[in-house]
Amino acid sequence: MLLEVRDLHVEFRTRDGVAKAVNGVNYSVDEGETLAVLGESGSGKSVTAQAVMGILDVPPGRIAGGEILFKGRDLLRMKEDERRRVRGAHMAMIFQDALSALNPVLTVGAQLGEMFEVHRGMSRKDSRARAVELMDRVRIPAARQRAGDYPHQFSGGMRQRIMIAMALALEPSLIIADEPTTALDVTVQAQVMDLLAELQRELNMGLILITHDLGVVADVADKIAVMYAGRIVEAAPVHELYRAPAHPYTRGLLDSIPRLDQMGQELYAIKGLPPNLTAIPPGCAFNPRCPMAQAICRTDVPPLYSVTGTPARRTSACHFWKECLGG
Amino acid sequence: MAEQILEVRDLVKHYPLTQGILFKKQIGAVKAVDGVSFGLARGETLGIVGESGCGKSTVARMLVNLERPTAGAISYKGEDITRLSGRALKAVRRNIQMVFQDPYTSLNPRMTVGDIIGEPFEIHPEAAPKGDRRRKVQELLDVVGLNPEYVNRYPHQFSGGQRQRIGIARGLALRPEVIVADEPVSALDVSVQAQVVNLLERLQDEFDLSYVFIAHDLSIVRHISDRIGVMYLGRVVETGTDAEIYDHPTHPYTQALLSAVPVPDPQARAHRERIILTGDVPSPANPPSGCRFRTRCWKARQRCADEVPLLAVPQAFPEGPAAHPSACHFAAEKHVVPAEGELPPPPPPPGPLHGGQ
Amino acid sequence: MPEPYDPLQPGDKEAIAPTGAGGPMDLAIEEAESLEKTLGDAPGPSGPGGKARSLWSDAWHQLRRNPVFVVSALLIAFLVVIAIWPQLIASGDPLKCDLSKSQEGSAPGHPFGYDTQGCDVYTRTVYGARASITVGVCATLGAALLGSLLGGLAGFFGGWGDATLSRVADIFFGIPVILGGLVFLSVVTSTTVWPVVGFIVLLGWPQIARIARGSVITAKQNDYVQAARALGAGNTRLLLRHVAPNAVAPVIVVATIALGTYIALEATLSFLGVGLRPPTVSWGIDISNAASQIRNAPHMLLWPAGALSITVLAFIMLGDAVRDALDPKLR
């Protein structure tokens, strides 16, 4: 297994108490596999990724427990400089806002080249050549000329390509993409997503795709982990999840998106709001919004039930997953 | 045909690009909106779709008179409102209201919810007698599904979805006939979006509202709209009813836009033909000659660079569902959206458990 | 088939009751970097009953718990009290001097000793607060009112008025403070504080005007200003109700910090002999008189200089605390 997150807990100290952003998250990605982590804002999907990358702001953040195994070694137990080496060379991250992730006063070619200078000890000339090569690879037209341009001279889609080029530069085995297409227009989204998926296949990397968009996930993911209030409420291979969700939250989400091929009737809406992380409801965190909730949901935190396979290929954190599956 | 409440003719908005500090010299213009026409009937929802920079938000701002058009007319019940000022403008404003995209910046953080929703009555004192205002504000809160007791709270005590409800209540206060909604749900969480869309639909029935609904999200637009206009670089490229646009699109841009929408079904991955456009939207300061879409269009020929295509029913389709205005020299029908029933339906919504486990 | 849930059915209102911080805070957790900001401005889960809390009351709530604020506010309160009623802690007369006691050290009833003229240093130090506080407060009020009025209007309306104001402000920025003071104030013969106050206002307003202009421009671009405009609100309402309340915080912060520097500026000008003049009691004058005697009688310098430093520091600390409370993003 390339990456395995085990029982991860992350907390944030806030003025109003401790916010439990991540409460026991487990997931894994293998080489050549795409895991989509799906959730709304506040679900903990990005915080988990930041913990994996080691870019969590500490304080106010704090990793309160768990393991993050990368190729079998626990990242949380590594020394800082060792961790930094792993982070630079073996895993990379792509952010939503490419403009703020790029340095505005350096040319794109210089920023890409810097990766090779720092990590590979290449000469400036060689590293520039590699930078142009990379830009070619992410299909930026006229790469040689454009390498001398500054980030603001590129369009949103092109900037996101540069981010991808940067992430690919050192040929990492794992890429984490945090809402990589959310800020882009629909027609450009498709280009960027396709590029990312193609490169991932080509280089046989592991890809963690963090998103709130069920549509994007359906197009590229192999498996999905749905997060709610800092926990994974359902994890499943992509086809099974869409066909028959085993958690009422997933079902609600699937029903509440308007579909292109259907019109007319009122949209299904999940009632209420996501919980405040300083005061997560007891029992199942989703129970106040759940139409299926019973007494047990308000008292007992549901374990991750295995829905299919041993060891579980598919899990659900719902006491009534069978009823949910059944319809 | 229902009464036309709003009629937009050849609307143009150019933002001058100037050089020099003291003696400003115009060196060009950003052609944000360049000749847009449409009508809106009472009780109807017109969806305007396009990518960023297509001018859809500028159109919205001109409809509510936040921007003055460079040319063209917007008539409300037959009266051109773009040249109005003073009292007459204020009177028209009562009837055309706006709901903004970002619920975090559209509410004044220093004002209570009661003051925010009550402000329309202060600006238009004739709309409600003074003693009546508090009751009216509470009624409005109730209408949008918020607890009327929250009048004394401040916006930062609410979540995004709730703030958007407050913004909608403010827009409704003066009982307008038209509401211009500029991407009202795109800043909200997925599970909250549906709540707000349903609210807007319910309010439309209840108050007999006409909507201009602006969005980049084609699936939400289809859900809420009766008619749709697709915009690209300041122009409308195709317009028609919901079925005409989604099931029988004839403009290549509409087709590309539709096929780019991710479908929440992994099964569709394999057998869905997708049109992936190359490149980005050109700058509106320097749009391509002829057809503005030609730089990204797979059908483009010489004629597209020479001749501006008119927004008209293509001659190739004199009748049938494809016979709706489309600004393309080579308009042709193409099936991109899976027909109803082609994809498996979503699972039924979760319901309460029976049998008391 | 169960009924699909309708969030708007009457009776389900509690389902969408405010969660206090719910949304905004969760959003911030999503991006750890914006958490900082949220720590400052997200309200807690509303207590029982969920009291309304304005941003101002939030800021006040935060200020009260900031030790820097508490210390500086107490110090300033004390300074203001003795500026108004110096007799409370000093029974003597600052102008009653006895040359025979020139430069003597501390004695019973005269803890700080005597200056060259034989005046009681303690009494003079206490009475000196009045001049400093008066100049500081009046100059700040003047500069803040003038600056925020001009800057605010320029920012709101823009156009040629804005361009003119900005250039005029630039000209004032170009005047060297000390040189300007030496030139302007040396022609004044008045012994009151007003020429000094006037001079500081004249040099101080452009700084406030710049800040006010900038924050008005930021505030007027907010959607809620557009929303009010779309409702038909006039410029007066937009400015007073929507722009000003949201633009005033940076002005308050800068003015508070400026107050400290104005006090220091008054002392500097007095030291140079162009600020306040005897018989007005001023720390600047006393420091100037003591400076030449620093080897023989350091106590003469120590006390007024110490009082001045503490006063300036108190106002700057207050400004810092106010900034933290009003604008968490600046931290």
Instruction: Give the tens place of pLDDT for each residue, A163-222.
Output: 888 888 888 899 999 888 887 887 788 888 888 888 888 889 999 999 888 888 888 888
| Nearest-angstrom CA–CA distance, A279 and A16 | 10
Q: What is the mean pLDDT of residues B139-164?
A: 88
Q: What is the mean pLDDT of residues B55-70?
A: 90
Min CA distance, A211 vs chain C (Å)? 12
B300 in the same domain as B189: no
C50/A contact by beta carbon, under 8 A? no
Mutate to test the interface with C, among B157, B175, B183, B203 (most CBs of C within 10 A): B157
Contact (CB<8Å) B349/C4: yes
Give the whole-number percent of chain B exceeding pLDDT 90.
Answer: 31
> Domain for residue B272, yes or no?
yes
Contact (CB<8Å) C35/A44: no
| Nearest-angstrom CA–CA distance, B311 and B320 | 17
B221 in the same domain as B254: no
Enumerate the residues of chain B whose CB falls inside 8 A of the CB of residue A273: 159, 161-162, 192
Q: What is the mean pLDDT of residues B292-318?
A: 88
Q: What is the pTM of this model?
A: 0.81
Structure tokens at A34: 């795409």
Task: Tell me which residues of chain A have a pLDDT lower than 50.
Answer: none
> Domain for residue B242, yes or no?
no
B142 in the same domain as B272: no
Identify the chains in contact with B, defined as 3+ C-beta pairs within 8 A: A, C
Among A70-74, C145-149, C170-174, top mean pLDDT goes to: C145-149
A244/B contact by beta carbon, under 8 A? yes
Contact yes or no for A38/A212 (Cβ under 8 A): yes
Secondary structure (H, E, C), chain C: CCCCCCCCCCCCHHHHCCCCCHHHHHHHHHCHHHHHHHHHHCCCCCCCCCCCCCHHHHHHHHHHCCHHHHHHHHHHHHHHHHHHCHHHCCCCCCCCCCHHHCCCCCECCECCCECCCCCEHHHHHHHHHHHHHHHHHHHHHHHHHHHHHHHHHHHHHCHHHHHHHHHHHHHHHCCCHHHHHHHHHHCCCCCCCHHHHHHHHHHHHHHHHHHHHHHHHHHHCCHHHHHHHHHCCCHHHHHHHHHHHHHHHHHHHHHHHHHHHHHHHHHHHHHCCCCCCCCCCCHHHHHHHHHCCCCCCHHHHHHHHHHHHHHHHHHHHHHHHHHHHHCHHHC
| Nearest-angstrom CA–CA distance, B10 and A205 | 52
Contact (CB<8Å) A60/C4: no
**Cα A44 to the chain's mean position, in Å?**
10
pLDDT digits (tens, 9 = 90+) for C85-117: 888 887 777 777 777 777 777 777 777 777 777
> Is C21 a residue whose pLDDT tops 60?
no
Contact yes or no for B304/B296 (Cβ under 8 A): no
Considering just the CA atoms, what is the radius of gyration of chain B in Å? 22
> Domain for residue B212, yes or no?
yes
> Is C17 a residue whose pLDDT tops 70?
no
Residue of chain C whose Cα is closest to the Cα of A96: C31
C161/A contact by beta carbon, under 8 A? no
The closest of A242, A266, A96, A180 to B263, measured between CA atoms, is A242
> Is C24 a residue whose pLDDT tops 50?
no
> Domain for residue B55, yes or no?
yes
Min CA distance, B178 vs chain C (Å)? 13
Task: Supply the ipTM of this predicted assembly.
Answer: 0.82
Local confidence band at B341 (pLDDT 50, 70, 90 cut-offs): low
The closest of C272, C311, C13 to C133, measured between CA atoms, is C311
Structure tokens at C193: 């504080």
Enumerate the residues of chain C whose CB falls inside 8 A of the CB of residue B199: 8
Min CA distance, B193 vs chain A (Å)? 8
Give the per-residue pLDDT at C8. Answer: 37
C31/A contact by beta carbon, under 8 A? yes
List, as ranges, residues 175-204 from B with C-beta within 8 Å of C.
Answer: 195, 198-199, 202
B186 in the same domain as B286: no
B188 in the same domain as B334: no
Of B189, B242, B352, the CB nearest to A274: B189
Local confidence band at C32 (pLDDT 50, 70, 90 cut-offs): very low
> Is C20 a residue whose pLDDT tops 50?
no
Give the per-residue pLDDT at C172. Answer: 87
Which of A280-294, C6-20, C118-132 is the least confident region? Answer: C6-20
Contact yes or no for A263/B355 (Cβ under 8 A): no
DSSP assignments along A148-198, one per residue: TS-GGGS-HHHHHHHHHHHHHTT--SEEEEESTTTTS-HHHHHHHHHHHHH
Mutate to test the interface with A, among C29, C33, C64 (most CBs of A within 10 A): C29
> Which amino acid is it at B258?
L
Mean pLDDT of the residues in chain C: 78
Secondary structure (H, E, C), chain B: CCCEEEEEEEEEEEEEEEECCCCCEEEEEEEEEEEEEEEEECCCEEEEECCCCCCHHHHHHHHCCCCCCCEEEEEECCEECCCCCHHHHHHHHCCEEEECCCCCCCCCCCCCHHHHHHHHHHHCHHHCCHHHHHHHHHHHHHHCCCCHHHHHCCHHHCCHHHHHHHHHHHHHCCCCCEEEEECCCCCCCHHHHHHHHHHHHHHHHHHCCEEEEEECCHHHHHHHCCEEEEEECCEEEEEEEHHHHHHCCCCHHHHHHHHHCCCCCCCHHHHCCCCCCCCCCCCCCCCCCCCCCHHHCCCCCHHHHHCCCCCECCCCCCCCCCCCCECCCCCCCCCCCCCCCCCCCCCCCCCCCCCCC
B219 in the same domain as B94: yes
Min CA distance, B155 vs chain C (Å)? 9
Identify the chains in contact with C, defined as 3+ C-beta pairs within 8 A: A, B
Q: How far is CA B167 from CA B11, C12, C267, in A?
A: 27, 21, 53
> Domain for residue B105, yes or no?
yes
Give the per-residue pLDDT at B39. Answer: 92
Of B260, B262, B347, the CB nearest to A251: B347
B266 in the same domain as B155: no
What residue numbers bound the domain in which B139 lies?
4-16+29-225
Which of A226-235, B333-342, C181-190 is the least confident region? Answer: B333-342
Residue reference for tokens 């501390």: C106
C13/B contact by beta carbon, under 8 A? yes
Mutate to test the interface with C, among A14, A100, A253, A324 (most CBs of C within 10 A): A14
Contact (CB<8Å) B159/C24: yes
The closest of C203, C142, C214, C212 to C169, measured between CA atoms, is C203
Strand order in the sheet with A17-29: A17-29, A3-14, A61-70, A73-74
Structure tokens at C116: 């060259």
Residue of chain A whose Cα is closest to the Cα of B218: A260
Local confidence band at C52 (pLDDT 50, 70, 90 cut-offs): low
> Is B59 a residue whose pLDDT tops 90?
yes
| Nearest-angstrom CA–CA distance, B221 and C130 | 68
C223/B contact by beta carbon, under 8 A? yes
B155 in the same domain as B108: yes
Which of A257-266, B144-153, C169-178 is the least confident region? Answer: A257-266
C171/A contact by beta carbon, under 8 A? no
Give the per-residue pLDDT at A191. Answer: 81
Using CA atoms in the order A108, A111, A116, A118, what is the torsion angle rounded to 10 degrees? 170
> Is C267 a residue whose pLDDT tops 80?
yes
Give the per-residue pLDDT at C28. Answer: 34
Contact yes or no for A74/A4 (Cβ under 8 A): no
Instruction: Domain count for chain B, please give it.
Output: 2
Residue reference for tokens 């090779």: A116
Among A186-200, B270-284, C250-264, C315-329, top mean pLDDT goes to: C250-264
The closest of B215, B115, B227 to B173, measured between CA atoms, is B115
Enumerate the residues of chain B whose CB falls inside 8 A of the CB of residue A256: 190-191, 193-194
| Nearest-angstrom CA–CA distance, A284 and A327 | 20
Enumerate the residues of chain C whose CB falls inside 8 A of the CB of residue B174: 231
Of C17, C26, C53, the CB nearest to B147: C17
Contact (CB<8Å) B194/A245: no
The closest of A141, A115, A142, A137 to A128, measured between CA atoms, is A115
Write down all domains in chain C, each with its CATH number in brackets. Answer: 13-53 (no CATH), 64-330 (1.10.3720.10)
B68 in the same domain as B209: yes
B221 in the same domain as B182: yes
B281/C contact by beta carbon, under 8 A? no
Give the distance between the most distant pair of CA atoms in chain C: 106
Local confidence band at C12 (pLDDT 50, 70, 90 cut-offs): very low
B215 in the same domain as B266: no
CATH number reported for the structural domain that contains residue B103 in this entry:
3.40.50.300
Local confidence band at C331 (pLDDT 50, 70, 90 cut-offs): very low
> Domain for residue B333, yes or no?
yes
Local confidence band at B158 (pLDDT 50, 70, 90 cut-offs): confident
Q: What is the mean pLDDT of residues C125-151?
A: 91
Give the per-residue pLDDT at C208. Answer: 92
C298/A contact by beta carbon, under 8 A? no
> Domain for residue B298, yes or no?
yes
Min CA distance, B162 vs chain A (Å)? 9
| Nearest-angstrom CA–CA distance, C216 and A89 | 47
Contact yes or no for A307/A316 (Cβ under 8 A): yes
Give the per-residue pLDDT at C282. Answer: 85
Contact (CB<8Å) A327/B268: no
Top-confidence residue, B272 or B330: B330
Q: Describe chain A by its helix, strand, coil percentages, rounded to 5.
A: 40, 25, 40
B115 in the same domain as B69: yes
Give the per-residue pLDDT at B117. Answer: 93
Enumerate the residues of chain B whose CB falls inside 8 A of the CB of residue C228: 108, 119, 123
The partner residues of B71 in beta bridges, in order of sequence, read B12
Top-confidence residue, C324 or B172: B172
Give the whole-number percent of chain B exceeding pLDDT 70.
Answer: 93
> Domain for residue B21, yes or no?
no
